[in-house]
Structure 1
Amino acid sequence: MSPKSVVVTGAGRGIGLAVTLELAHAGFDVIGTVRTPEKDEALRAVVERTGAAVRTVLLDVADATSCVQAFTEIAMMTDGGPWAVVNNAGFAQPGAVEDVDDEQARRQLETNLIAPARIARLVLPAMRERRDGRIVNISSVAGRVSLPMLGWYCASKQGLESVTDALRMETESFGVKVVLIEPGSHRTGIWEQGAELLPAERTSAYRDQYAAADQVVRDARTLPGPRPVALAVLKALNARRPLPRYLVGGGARSAAALDVLAPTAATDWAKQLATGLRAAPPRVARAVDRLRGK
């Protein structure tokens, strides 16, 4: 029996790379997609060093033509279409809502929300014909919890969660299982990339908060690696009856629970404090400084 084929988008770094390697070593026939020949070459080099076997395809998920071309190629590679797709490709657009312009907002939604739906349209006919298949969408705890200074990123992930929930119910009778993975913060490079997309600081009413972005990026380097997310994807693909959602990480579970259980005024205050929109009371500030060793 030939191994099941799985397409992983955004396979060149972070969560996508971790998922690609985890699935390949678990025996899946993995096809990793990246946007450029340079990233393709880099991915192949990493895969070769680990001893895994991964095929690659060029794909820009935000380009409809590229999606059609790539999945036509993948259909030929997989005898009609992949058994599963892991929609991982995405990025985080930072900035206050009023500072993010229309073009930036559209790019965020195109990549994180519209692209996974487009890819689902491309792979579902073959899955439906086989009456078997999996679609795994990589969301975030931001799909449940809105954060200031990340409003458009949160909107894209919360939209993805709504679309995924609808898709899961629509495709169930055809034997296709649809799953959400909701990671907390992990060391993936997404925050470093996001810092490069910050709106112009000088003219912004939020320039003080943007100045704190360097600290966020520094803190991101100490986060746990993305392997727990890859293991959750592996579990979702191996399970006979996968869960609709997998929250990954204690931070993600506690943040989601607090956002539901605590009063909105309290969670607003905590989020404003965390992002520098509100100054901490002196006693709290002193306690934080002591924890940081200052």
Structure 2
Amino acid sequence: MTKTVVVTGASSGIGLATALELASAGFDVIGTARTEEKARSLRDKAERIGAGVRTVLLDVTDATSTVCAFTHVAELTDGGPWAVVNNAGMAQPGAVEDVDDEQVRRQLETNLVAPARIARLVLPRMRQRRSGRIINISSVSGRVPLPFLGWYCASKQGLAAMSDALRMEVAPFGIRVSLIEPGSYGTQIWERGLELLPERQQSAYQDQYDSAHEMLRGVKDMPSPRPVAKTVLRALRARRPQPRYLVGNDARGHVLFEALAPTAATDWAKSVATGLRTPPPHVARMLERLRGR
């Protein structure tokens, strides 16, 4: 019997790549989108590659919308899906002190509370079947905190901790939980981040925000997120999936550097990278040469 997988936030970026990859591999994919226009676009893209994707409207930050969406999913799947890929997310940039309470709550609601809410809805049927998968899309930022992404990193570190606890809790019932931790890939999450930058003129970090604005405008040059989608497919096909999957050489490099280098060294490197500190002239020249390669 074909296994059904729900992919949240499937209209763009990692979610879109994952929905198409899984559908092409023979899974019965239900992709969620916030609007009918985005849902239609997802279906059209799936048809163009000869795959079928069903869609359900869902705003993961709205508890009522989530219950309605997964009630519909249960009707489409004889009680509930075999797997859920919690991909829907957002990135709130800004210094910790510049991000107000409402923005903080939205960040945590989207990236942390929503996956837990969805797990709560699908677990009873998975437990009854004694089979199921939950895959949470995190980020290398869940292991490597960065200046000006403190709240985003907090949401992803929280997601990692929640996933670890959930993995142990549901394992006796035949349910497997995995965390996918990608490095840098081209997705709209960073383009949308431009709209969420705090008011620069009123911040002590105005210069750094100006630099971040220019950096975020260049994310279109980042590689396709298909490696992340292929990793999700590998995790779903595995008899014993790994608890965590790091995706990308940059992710592995960042995690290794964070683990091996002294905190003072990693703080300095991140501060230089984000414009908080200026390196000595000879180091600046070396960095310029490396960027030019």
Q: Does the TM-score normalized on the shorter chain lie above 0.5?
A: yes
Taking the aligned partners of 1:73 and 1:30, their CA distance within structure 2 comes to 14
Q: What is the DSSP-based 3-state SS (H/G/I as helix, E as strand, rest coil) of the residue aligned with 1:196? A: helix
Describe the superposition over 1:250-287 as per-residue Cα deviations: whole angstroms up to 9, x where unpaired: 11011111111110000000000111111122112222
Taking the aligned partners of 2:187 and 2:233, their CA distance within structure 1 comes to 18
- Alignment partner, residue 36 of structure 1: 35
User: Within 5 Å, which residues of 2 pair with 1:219-230?
Assistant: 219-230=218-229
Q: Which runs of 5+ in 2 are unaligned?
A: none
Taking the aligned partners of 2:282 and 2:265, their CA distance within structure 1 comes to 18
Taking the aligned partners of 1:111 and 1:291, their CA distance within structure 2 comes to 37
CA positional deviation for 1:107: 0.1
Describe the superposition over 1:195-231 as per-residue Cα deviations: whole angstroms up to 9, x where unpaired: 1100000010000000002332243222111010001
Q: Does 1:239 align with 2:238?
A: yes
CA positional deviation for 1:233: 0.3
- Alignment partner, residue 113 of structure 1: 112
Code of the residue aligned with 1:190 in structure 2: it is: I
- Alignment partner, residue 155 of structure 2: 156
- Alignment partner, residue 138 of structure 2: 139
Taking the aligned partners of 1:281 and 1:224, their CA distance within structure 2 comes to 32
Q: Does 1:213 align with 2:212?
A: yes
Identical-pair percentage: 69
Q: What is the DSSP-based 3-state SS (H/G/I as helix, E as strand, rest coil) of the residue aligned with 2:200? A: coil
- Alignment partner, residue 256 of structure 2: 257
- Alignment partner, residue 199 of structure 1: 198
Taking the aligned partners of 1:285 and 1:91, their CA distance within structure 2 comes to 33
Taking the aligned partners of 1:187 and 1:281, their CA distance within structure 2 comes to 32
Describe the superposition over 1:5-54 as per-residue Cα deviations: whole angstroms up to 9, x where unpaired: 00000000000000000000000000000011121122122112121100
Taking the aligned partners of 1:292 and 1:139, their CA distance within structure 2 comes to 28
CA positional deviation for 1:140: 0.4
CA positional deviation for 1:136: 0.1
Code of the residue aligned with 1:113 in structure 2: it is: L
Judge conservation of contact 2:42–2:53 (CA < 8 Å) in 1.
no
Q: Assess, with a 3 A threshold, how the Cα gap between structure 1 residues 291 and 258 changes in structure 2: closer, same or farther.
A: closer
Q: Assess, with a 3 A threshold, how the Cα gap between structure 1 residues 153 and 236 changes in structure 2: closer, same or farther.
A: same
CA positional deviation for 1:240: 0.2
CA positional deviation for 1:288: 2.6
Taking the aligned partners of 1:28 and 1:38, their CA distance within structure 2 comes to 23
Taking the aligned partners of 2:221 and 2:92, their CA distance within structure 1 comes to 21
Q: Assess, with a 3 A threshold, how the Cα gap between structure 1 residues 256 and 293 changes in structure 2: closer, same or farther.
A: closer
Describe the superposition over 1:76-125 as per-residue Cα deviations: whole angstroms up to 9, x where unpaired: 00000000000000010000000000000000000000000000000000
- Alignment partner, residue 125 of structure 1: 124
- Alignment partner, residue 89 of structure 1: 88
- Alignment partner, residue 17 of structure 2: 18
TM-score normalised according to structure 2 size: 0.98
User: Within 5 Å, which residues of 2 pair with 1:36-115?
Assistant: 36-115=35-114
TM-score normalised according to structure 1 size: 0.98
- Alignment partner, residue 166 of structure 1: 165
Q: What is the DSSP-based 3-state SS (H/G/I as helix, E as strand, rest coil) of the residue aligned with 2:196? A: coil
- Alignment partner, residue 279 of structure 1: 278
Q: How many residues align?
A: 293
Structure 1 runs of 4+ off > 6 angstroms? Answer: none
